[in-house]
Copies of this chain bind each other. A is one copy, B any other.
Amino acid sequence: MQHTTATIITIGDELLIGQVVDTNSAWIAQHLNVIGVWIHKRIAVGDEFEDIWKALEDAEQSSDIVILTGGLGPTNDDITKNVLNEYFGGKLVLNEDALKNVEKIFQQYNRPLLEVNYNQAMIPDVCIAMLNKRGTAPGMIFEKNNKLFFSMPGVPHEMKFMTEEYVLPAIKEKFKLFAVEHRTIITINIGESFLAERLKEFEANLGTHIKLAYLPATRMVRLRLTENLLTNELSNIETKFLELKQLVQDVMIADEDISVPAAIGKLLLQKNKTVSTAESCTGGYIAQQFTSVSGSSKYFWGSVVSYDVSVKENILNIPKETIEKFNVVSEEVVTVMAKNVREKMKTDFAIATTGIAGPDGGTEEIPVGTIWIAVASENDVITKKLQLNYTRERNIEATTIAAFGMLTSVLNQ
């Protein structure tokens, strides 16, 4: 017996010229996977009739489910609906519910309906409309040869609503689905090949239904165990997962698929501790990472982004003499930054960073990529110096992950 499979087709010139990163496919894939649908392939084509048609044929031939996003907007380059109409041999008719939906949206903004938006309410008579609560373009569901085809807008929040409201329920109703189970571990500060060497024997003994994947990123590797159960076999993934956790305990910061700041947040909540940051070269990135997690106000109290030297002196109260004597990028300065912000914000811990993220600003003494991190606790400050040579963005990311690693070790003491 085979898994139910899907092909995802994303439509739009902007995806092909690279001005927009395709985040929709990843989101859809995750959500399909969770209910047991196996993504077979993803195809991205431009707003071109022929290419969309060929992608449809390819997808229909190889998958049970076809999901298209994009090309449903009100402008001239949006042709998806026309392609689908011809592909399924339909005729465009006005859908009353879709029209009411569009009218309601424009009423909210107190604007008159434009002809292009009226046309968006016309859909093929051989499909079912998926009403769009967050925009003007309705989605469409087609059925053919026991396969389901879904067409949705490319605008992410519109697509997400439609997927959860219509697409997932329709798939669950039509197909008999078997669970795909995932377990994820997040490790930091260890390279992929060293992890693989450590886990060689473990991998060899996984059996036929469980696979281990390595997903490396800046200063971290996510390990993903995947189990494919096609019948009523017994699941073995929990046992293997416990085994894996034991093997990587020293470098593991989370045993679920969450972001690094979410993992740190859980640990802070668990220990009932608070944290603040004083950031120079990371420019607010660490604060933003903390606050990207819902509920972070329970443990993250604030930050001083001291991008200009005057702010370090006036708000963080770093003595001018210290900065002049040791240089703003130094262990001495980052130590005082961490201590002072910790006291000012009255948190249990504080992270401070100072350095040169690049690409400019380096000197012979202190080249681009020189970065100091400090983590202050009540009675101690630990520091670390990094010498990085990535892009500016990646230097900041790497510094942040390293800082989170230091905070983790201090919390786990």
Contact, CB under 8 Å: A76 / B20? no
Residue of B17, B23, B192, B301 touching A21 (CB-CB under 8 A)? B23
Contact, CB under 8 Å: B26 / A30? no
Residue of B20, B22, B215, B392 touching A14 (CB-CB under 8 A)? B215
A157 interfacial by beta-carbon distance below 8 Å: yes
Q: How large is the interface on A (under 10, 10 to 19, 20 to 34, 35 or more residues)?
A: 35 or more
A355 interfacial by beta-carbon distance below 8 Å: no
A344 interfacial by beta-carbon distance below 8 Å: yes
Comparing A37-45, A92-100, A171-179, A239-247, the segment that makes contact with chain B is: A37-45
On whether A116 and B197 interact (CB within 8 A), knowing A19-B215, A213-B14, the answer reads: yes
**Bound-complex Cα distance A287 to B350 (A):** 18
Residue of B nearest to A6 (CB): B16
Question: Which residues does chain B contribute within 8 Å of A307, judged by CB atoms?
Answer: 287, 291, 296-297, 300-303
A182 interfacial by beta-carbon distance below 8 Å: yes
Q: How far is the CB of A118 from chain B (nearest CB, A)?
A: 11
Interface of A is mostly: mixed
A304 interfacial by beta-carbon distance below 8 Å: yes
Question: Which residues does chain B contribute within 8 Å of A116, judged by CB atoms?
Answer: 193, 196-197
29 cross-chain CB contacts under 8 A: A13-B213, A15-B29, A18-B27, A18-B28, A18-B31, A19-B222, A19-B224, A21-B21, A41-B44, A42-B43, A58-B58, A73-B214, A74-B192, A75-B196, A76-B212, A114-B197, A157-B394, A283-B292, A284-B290, A284-B303, A285-B288, A294-B359, A294-B360, A295-B360, A297-B361, A302-B304, A303-B307, A304-B304, A311-B345
Query: What 5 pairs across the A-B complex have the smallest Cβ distances?
Result: A283-B291, A284-B287, A18-B29, A18-B30, A42-B44
